[in-house]
Amino acid sequence: MPESESAADFDELLAILHLDQVDDDTFTGAHPSKNPIRTFGGQMMAQAFVAAGRTLANPLTPSALSAHFIAGGDPALDLEFHVVRLRDERRFANRRVDVMQKGQLLTTAMVSYLTGGSGLEHGAEPPSPDDPDELPPIDELLRGYEDVVPHFANALRPIEWRYTNDPAWVMRDKGDRLTHNRVWMKARGVMPDDPVLHGAALVYSSDTTVLDSIITTHGLSWGHDRIFAVTTNHSVWFHRPLRFDDWVLYSTRSPVAADSRGLGTGHFYDRSGQPLATVVQEGIVKYFPPRKSGARPTASG
């Protein structure tokens, strides 16, 4: 991607995270110029996270976000964010954010804040992947696959991705299987010194690659295979303050898939290996294998 185009995509991310405030607890948010058929879930969650943060009386640290997706949004229309103040204390706060469009509830998100102070600390052993500066950019991994995964090739890309493993579409070409995905990520520009925006950029990015391990575990890929996937719910737990304009590693895997639903789990780490956030996402994932040659559909009834 040309530098001017990547800078424009980054500027669009900052623009959609800048919400217009209607009143104390109501905000509106726009869509970027490049959109999927339905509003990107990561966008709605990131904007809801910003809306919640703008209503805090005290500068508290976010501890968790949990979102349930109810209906798909129309990218041609602005989104409304209605904040409900559930709790406000010196060290605790809770917000509910309802994302609406033309009177319809699209998503509801719960955001909690907690400033806990010092205490016990430990973290899972981080993976030891390659230096992100030595890895190929996503544009190189998409070269030759533009017609296979056009929704990736033509998507808004305000976040730089550097895979430590083959992405799904390359893995599929090699006939491999992969039970994990690890991607270094960072914003494609310098972000303002606003912790809310850095947290929102992480939330936005957490809705990418997290379901990939469900299909790569079976040697499948978006684009190559007929797969339907839609997110039903998504949660993020924040462990430490972060900057998203420096490299962070998003390490994901799928512990289970059953009943046409799959679970993806992930951890964000900084470059020193400190865990920054944990993600769990559930999605409906359906795979439609190709019919065997010569097979005929059977009549029912």
The tens digit of pLDDT for each residue in 209-229 reads 999 999 999 999 999 999 999
Phi, psi of 107 (to 5 degrees): -150, 145
- Which one-letter amino acid corresponds to residue 49? F
Q: Read off the pLDDT of each residue in 132-160 and give the average, rounded to a whole number.
A: 93
pTM: 0.93
- In this predicted structure, the answer to whether residue 56 has a pLDDT above a threshold of 80 is yes
Q: Read off the pLDDT of each residue in 273-280 and give the average, rounded to a whole number.
A: 96
CA-CA distance, 49 to 277, in Å (whole number)?
15
Q: For the chain, how many residues are written?
A: 301
Largest distance between two CA atoms of the chain: 69
CA-CA distance, 158 to 201, in Å (whole number)?
10
- Which one-letter amino acid corresponds to residue 264? G
Average the pLDDT over each of 19-33, 73-87, 110-124 and give the range with the smallest value: 110-124
pLDDT at residue 224, rounded to an integer: 92
Q: Helix or strand or coil: residue 283?
A: strand
- In this predicted structure, the answer to whether residue 171 has a pLDDT above a threshold of 90 is yes
High-pLDDT (> 90) share of the chain, %? 84
Using 50, 70 and 90 to split pLDDT, how confident is the model at 5? Answer: low
Q: Give 28's strand partners.
A: 20, 80
Phi, psi of 171 (to 5 degrees): -55, -45
- In this predicted structure, the answer to whether residue 299 has a pLDDT above a threshold of 50 is no
* Region for residue 102 given its phi and psi (left: phi exceeds 0; alpha: psi -120 to 50; beta: otherwise): left
Phi, psi of 218 (to 5 degrees): -100, 10
- In this predicted structure, the answer to whether residue 293 has a pLDDT above a threshold of 90 is no
Q: Helix or strand or coil: residue 46?
A: helix
Using 50, 70 and 90 to split pLDDT, how confident is the model at 87? Answer: very high
* Region for residue 204 given its phi and psi (left: phi exceeds 0; alpha: psi -120 to 50; beta: otherwise): alpha
pLDDT at residue 298, rounded to an integer: 42
Q: Is there a contact between 111 and 48 (Cβ–Cβ < 8 Å)?
A: yes
- In this predicted structure, the answer to whether residue 206 has a pLDDT above a threshold of 60 is yes
pLDDT at residue 117, rounded to an integer: 80
Considering the chain, what is the average pLDDT of its residues? 92
Residue indicated by tokens 């944990």: 278
What residues contact residue 291 under an 8 Å CB cut-off, 6+ apart? Answer: none
Show the domains of the chain with their CATH numbers.
Answer: 3-116+132-287 (2.40.160.210)
pLDDT at residue 125, rounded to an integer: 80
Give the pairing of strands 92-101 and 180-187: unpaired
Token couple for 87: 């709790």
Using 50, 70 and 90 to split pLDDT, how confident is the model at 120? Answer: confident
- In this predicted structure, the answer to whether residue 294 has a pLDDT above a threshold of 60 is no
- In this predicted structure, the answer to whether residue 6 has a pLDDT above a threshold of 80 is no
Q: Which of 182, 188, 244 is nearest to 208 (CA)?
A: 182
pLDDT at residue 297, rounded to an integer: 46
Token couple for 285: 């994932």
Please count the other Cβ atoms lying within 10 Å of the Cβ belonging to residue 198: 19
Phi, psi of 147 (to 5 degrees): -85, -15
Chain centroid to Cα 114, Å, comes to: 23
- In this predicted structure, the answer to whether residue 174 has a pLDDT above a threshold of 70 is yes
